Amino acid sequence: MLAREPSSQAGQHSGRVDLVVITGMVAQNSRVLDVGSGDGHLLRLLAETRGVDGRGIEISREGVNHCVAKGLAVIQGDADIDLADYPDDAFDYVILSQTLQATRRPRWVLEQMLRIGRHAVVSFPNFGHWKIRLKLLFRGRMPITENLPETWYETPNIHFCTIRDFVELVRQLDVKMERAVAFNSWGRPVRLNAPWWFWNLFGEQAVFLLSRKT
């Protein structure tokens, strides 16, 4: 899975935007598990602005070190394996920020998130964005963009999806989609009343708040 590099996310305005939106989706004083904590930026933001009791999983030891030095409780581990070890209902929210596309078993990871927590918050880059579609259409090669700068053979992102793909997976999982937000390339939200095809074309990134039906 993808370890958010300690500085790569914070430096990009679009990365910032998704963290702000995620923070807004989390209730005050709740218990949160952040899967792929990186340098602990989001966990700290959640603690400071929402008073959450946060925990994290992070695959890189450097990331764990950064988190521990911030006083955060973060475990070195791999979401594809270690989510299985968490008890049911341990958290109110389980967050997966910009990591879904780097997991080996995205569907299993989502299922685990909604087993461990009542809510899941997922943010990911939309592979259906018009810039990516154009690059693929005209150049015929795997797109390299500002947000997704690695070549196909070096990227940790092995399971790209579009917003519509994700929505379809959510339907299959039979969970409630509480909220969905997409941003365009300038970090502005795509019109809420726009149809899915519009979101899928103009949303560069998406954030979903999911909940168990029962």
Partner 1 sequence: MSVIRAEFEGAVSRAEAIRREADEPHSKLVRFGPDKPLKLDAGVELTPFQIAYTTHGELNAQKSNAILICHALTGDQYVIGDHPVTGKPGWWETMVGPGRPIDTDHFFVICSNVLGGCMGTTGPASKDPKTGEPYELSLPVLTIRDMVRAQAMLLDHLGIEKLLCVTGGSMGAMQALQWAASYPARVFASLPIAVAARHSAQNIAFHEVGRQSIMADPEWRQGAYYRADTFPRRGLAVARMAAHITYLSDAALHRKFGRQLQDRAALTFGFDADFQVESYLRHQGTIFVERFDANSYLYITRAMDYFDIAADYNGVLANAFRGTKTRFCIISFTSDWLFPTSDARHIVHALNAAGASVSFAEIVTDKGHDAFLLEEPELFDIVRGFLDAAAKSLGIKV
Nearer of residues 67 and 182 to partner 1, judged by Cβ: 67
Binding positions for partner 1, 43-62, rule CB under 8 A: 55, 61
Q: Which residues, other chains included, contact 52 with Cβ-Cβ below 8 Å and sequence gap of 6+? A: 26, 28, 29, 30, 31, 32, 46, 93
Q: Which of 27, 48, 51, 90 binds partner 1 (CB under 8 A)?
A: 90
The CA-atom distances, in angstroms, between 101 and each of 41, 70, 116 are: 20, 27, 20
What's the length of the chain?
214
Tokens 């090669």 belong to 141
Percent of residues in the chain assigned helix, strand, coil, to nearest 5: 40, 20, 40
- Under rule CB under 8 A, residue 6 binds partner 1: no
Q: Does 177 bind partner 1 (CB under 8 A)?
A: no
Binding region for partner 1 (CB under 8 A) out of 86-94, 98-106, 124-132, 140-148: 86-94
Which one of 74, 132, 163, 190 is in contact with partner 1 (CB under 8 A)?
74
Residue recorded with tokens 């925990």: 55
Q: Which of 65, 155, 185, 211 binds partner 1 (CB under 8 A)?
A: 65
Q: Choose the binding region for partner 1 from 17-25, 81-89, 138-146, 190-198 (rule: CB under 8 A).
A: 81-89
87 part of the interface to partner 1, by CB under 8 A:
yes
Tell which one of 67, 163, 170, 182 touches partner 1 (CB under 8 A). 67
Phi-psi region of 190 (alpha: psi -120 to 50; beta: other; left: phi over 0): beta
Binding site for partner 1 (CB under 8 A): 55, 61, 64-77, 85-87, 90
